[in-house]
Amino acid sequence: MSYLTQLKTFVEVYRSGNITRAAARLHMSQPAVTSHIQAMENIVGKELFIRKARGVEPTAIADDLALQVASHIDTLEQKVASIRSRASTDHGTLHLAGPAEYLSLVAGPALANLLQADKVNLVIHTGNKSSIYHLLENDVAELAITASEPTDAMYEYQKLDKERLILVMNRVQGKLLGEREISAELLNQHKVVTYDEQLPLVRRYFSEVFNAACESPVAAVCPDIRAISSIIKAGIGYSVLPDYLCKEGIAKGELVALGKPGPENDVYLVWKKGALRHPRVDFAKDVIMAFANMNYLSALPD
């Protein structure tokens, strides 16, 4: 659940020191403001304000929360104001490239947020690393989401997200191995299902966790990580998957997580230098990044 509205109300009450003044500035009723503050107190599990005769006094918890979130709220407000003031040249069709599984399972809300602005139409292109950068290089795609940091000087980028790599196996073999120490030697006795012949995620996991190479026989090569998950659930071998793709299967007992958690991958929003001169592309970049920042704020522990 997103708590951005309640956080914005909290910051205004904190700064004004008075619920009535905060309600006026936010164009809200006093009961609504009070309800938002109570919701935030339920989230953090502590009292945020001490009610006084002429206002409210923040507690130490409120001071800490305001220090952590107020500047982020201000940044998001500035971004939204900037987006609202953009000219009509923001309108048009945007071509976005990225991995099919990330676009379908994670990026959907950000893309929906972009479409709700009713200025940009989307054409989505999916593919692996090489095809994504090929689309950017040849000006087919104007923005791209990728888990590989650009190395060519022709690109600019911002960090969008993180994904944790998890070693998973089908539930039958996984339960048999669950009590044993997981090593490269042990895994190399089992089949692996991989994204492509270079074993990108598997190779990185083996290198950083085991300091060894993967020598498992390849059972299947699937350029869609969702298909890899399905094959493993059906009882074939193991693989290394991003956490967002396997956490539900692990929770349901369809997959078994083995060994140590793998390394984290940064996920990037990438564009060709000069692309942001087009207001449509700059607008889309700001909306997607603003949503990523909002998602960060909504992930505050409850």
Task: Residue 298: count other Cβ atoms within 10 Å of its Cβ.
Answer: 12
CA distance 55 to 58: 10
Q: Model confidence at 176, in pLDDT bands (50, 70, 90)?
A: confident
C-alpha separations of 251 from 122, 247, 302 in Å: 34, 6, 20
Contact 269, 185 (CB under 8 A): no
Three-class secondary structure of residue 17 per DSSP: coil
CA dihedral 190, 191, 193, 198 (to 10 degrees): 100
Look at residue 297 in the predicted model and tell me its pLDDT.
37
pLDDT digits (tens, 9 = 90+) for 158-174: 998 888 999 999 888 88
Q: What is the DSSP letter of 218?
A: E
Please provide residue 148's backbone torsions phi and psi, each rounded to the nearest 5 degrees.
-115, 130
CA distance 215 to 224: 22
Among 45-54, 174-183, 282-291, the range with the most confident prediction by mean pLDDT is 45-54
Look at residue 218 in the predicted model and tell me its pLDDT.
94
Q: Model confidence at 132, in pLDDT bands (50, 70, 90)?
A: very high
Instruction: Determine the average pLDDT of the residues in 134-151.
Output: 92
Look at residue 81 in the predicted model and tell me its pLDDT.
64
Answer yes or no: is pLDDT of 62 > 90: yes
β-strand 255-258 against 155-170: which pairing, if any?
antiparallel
Model's pTM, two decimal places?
Answer: 0.62
Which of the pair, 105 or 240, is modelled with greater confidence? 240
Three-class secondary structure of residue 48 per DSSP: coil
CA distance 236 to 16: 60
- Average model confidence (pLDDT) across the chain: 86
Please provide residue 261's backbone torsions phi and psi, each rounded to the nearest 5 degrees.
-60, 140
Which of the pair, 118 or 178, is modelled with greater confidence? 178
Look at residue 177 in the predicted model and tell me its pLDDT.
87
Which of the pair, 121 or 64, is modelled with greater confidence? 64
Burial 163-172 (b: 16+ CB within 10 A, else e): bebbbbbbbe
